[in-house]
C-alpha cells in the first residue's frame, strides 16, 4: 500500500461582530477564513499515475497488448473493483474541489451517500470540510481493502454503528458500507433500518460510470435510493455525479461508456440531468470532467 497526502482548502465566509473604538457603534463585517485539511489516502500500488497509464494505454493501443493485472487472482477481484483500489481518479479530485470549495452548501451538514467511493477522498473530504455525515460505499473487496482504512486514518474516534468522527474542528461523520449496484437489495439498509442513517439528503458519485456495463445497474441503484426516500420521507434526495468520457471512437475495445451512452442511460432510467460544470481534463486533451445534477423525472 502507498499513502498519499491530499491538501484540501476550503474557505468559510461568516459574519463577525466588530466593536469599534471611539464611541462608534458596533458594526459587522464579512470575514473569509481559508482552512486547509490534510487527508491521508492509502491505495494499492497497482499501476503508475493516471497520466503514466494514459501514455501506456496509447502504446498498448498501438501494440494491441494488455498488461497483466497483478491482483487478478485475489478474492473479490473484478476489473471494476481494481479501479477502486488503485488511486484517486481525476474526477474525484475535481469533484472534491467543487463540493468543498465552490459549492459547499450542496452537502453542508447533510446526510450524504457516496456511491463507488474507491479510496474515499471525496466522501472523506465532504465529511471533514462540510461537516456532513457521509456513508461511503463500494464493493465489499474495496471497502475491506482500502476504504475502511482510509476513513479510520482520517478520524479521531469511533462512535456508534460504524460511524467515525472525522478530523477537523467540527468534523462530521463517515463510515464505510458495502453496496454493490448489481445487488440492489443492498440499498435498503442505507435508508430503511433504524440502525443506519435515517435519511439520505444527497447522493454523490465520482467517476463511477466509465464502463458501459455499469451504466444500467448504477442508474437502477440511484432509482432505488430515490424511490425509497420518496416513500419514507416524501421527498427525493439531490444527486450530483461526475464523469470523464474515456471512450475512443477508433479503439477496438468498446468497453468504455461515451458521454452519449451515459446521457442515454439517464434518459432510459427516467433520470433528468443537468450539466452543472465542465472542467477540462488535465490528463487527456480535448476531454473534460462533467458534473451533472440528476433528479427523478
Residues near ligand SAM, by CB under 6 A: 80-81, 83-84, 88-89, 91-92, 116-118, 138-139, 142, 179-182, 206-208, 210, 214, 217
Q: Which is nearer to ligand SAM, 142 or 271 (CB)?
A: 142
- Give the pairing of strands 271-280 and 288-296: antiparallel
Minimum distance from CB of 160 to ligand SAM (Å)? 25
Residue nearer to ligand SAM on the CB measure, 13 or 72: 72
Of 254 and 297, nearer to ligand SAM (C-beta) is 254
Q: How far is the CB of 32 from ligand SAM (least distance, A)?
A: 29
Q: How many CA atoms within 13 Å lie on the side-chain side of 47?
A: 21
Count H helices and E strands in the chain, helices first. Answer: 9, 11
Task: Write down the least CB distance from residue 269 to ligand SAM, Å.
Answer: 16
Identity of the residue, 16 or 51, whose beta carbon is nearer to ligand SAM in the bound complex = 51
Q: Give the residue with the Cβ less far from ligand SAM, 141 or 236.
A: 141
User: What's the rounded Cα separation, in Å, for the pair 266 and 260?
Assistant: 10
- Which DSSP letter does residue 67 get? P
Q: How many residues does the chain have?
A: 297
- Whole-number Å distance between alpha carbons of 68 and 92: 26
The nearest distance, CB 275 to ligand SAM, in angstroms, is 18
Nearest distance from residue 247's CB to ligand SAM, in Å? 14
Taking Cα atoms as reference points, which of 174, 41, 169, 44 lies closest to residue 107? 174
Instruction: Compute the distance between CA of residue 43 and CA of residue 289 in angstroms, rounded to an integer.
Output: 22
User: Which of 262, 257, 34 lies closest to 129 in space, CA to CA?
Assistant: 34
Amino acid at each position: 500500500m502507498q499513502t498519499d497526502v491530499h491538501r484540501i482548502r476550503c474557505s468559510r465566509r461568516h459574519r463577525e461582530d466588530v466593536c469599534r473604538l471611539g464611541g462608534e457603534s458596533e458594526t459587522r463585517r464579512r470575514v473569509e477564513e481559508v482552512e486547509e485539511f490534510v487527508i491521508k489516502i492509502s491505495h494499492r500500488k497497482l499501476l503508475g499515475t493516471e497520466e503514466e497509464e494514459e501514455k501506456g494505454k496509447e502504446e498498448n493501443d498501438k501494440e494491441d497488448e494488455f498488461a497483466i493485472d497483478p491482483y487478478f487472482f485475489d478474492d473479490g477481484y473484478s476489473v471494476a473493483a481494481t479501479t477502486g483500489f488503485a488511486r484517486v481518479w481525476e474526477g474525484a479530485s475535481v469533484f472534491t474541489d467543487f463540493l468543498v470549495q465552490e459549492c459547499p452548501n450542496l452537502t453542508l451538514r447533510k446526510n450524504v451517500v457516496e456511491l463507488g467511493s474507491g479510496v474515499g477522498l471525496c466522501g472523506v473530504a465532504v465529511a471533514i470540510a462540510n461537516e456532513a455525515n457521509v456513508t461511503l460505499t463500494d464493493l465489499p473487496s474495496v471497502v475491506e481493502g482500502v476504504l475502511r482504512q482510509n476513513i479510520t486514518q482520517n478520524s479521531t474516534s469511533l462512535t456508534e454503528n460504524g460511524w467515525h468522527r472525522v478530523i477537523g474542528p467540527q468534523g462530521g461523520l463517515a463510515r464505510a458500507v458495502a453496496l454493490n449496484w448489481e445487488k440492489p437489495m443492498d440499498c435498503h439498509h442505507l435508508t430503511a433500518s433504524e440502525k443506519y442513517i435515517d435519511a439520505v439528503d444527497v447522493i454523490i458519485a465520482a467517476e463511477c460510470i466509465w464502463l458501459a456495463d455499469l451504466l444500467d445497474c448504477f442508474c437502477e441503484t440511484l432509482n432505488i435510493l430515490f424511490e425509497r426516500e420518496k416513500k419514507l420521507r416524501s421527498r427525493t434526495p439531490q444527486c450530483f455525479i461526475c464523469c470523464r468520457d474515456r471512450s475512443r471512437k477508433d479503439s477496438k475495445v468498446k468497453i468504455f461508456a461515451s458521454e452519449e451512452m451515459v446521457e442515454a442511460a439517464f434518459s432510459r432510467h427516467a433520470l433528468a440531468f443537468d450539466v452543472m460544470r465542465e472542467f477540462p481534463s488535465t490528463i487527456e486533451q480535448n476531454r473534460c470532467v462533467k458534473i451533472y445534477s440528476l433528479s427523478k423525472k
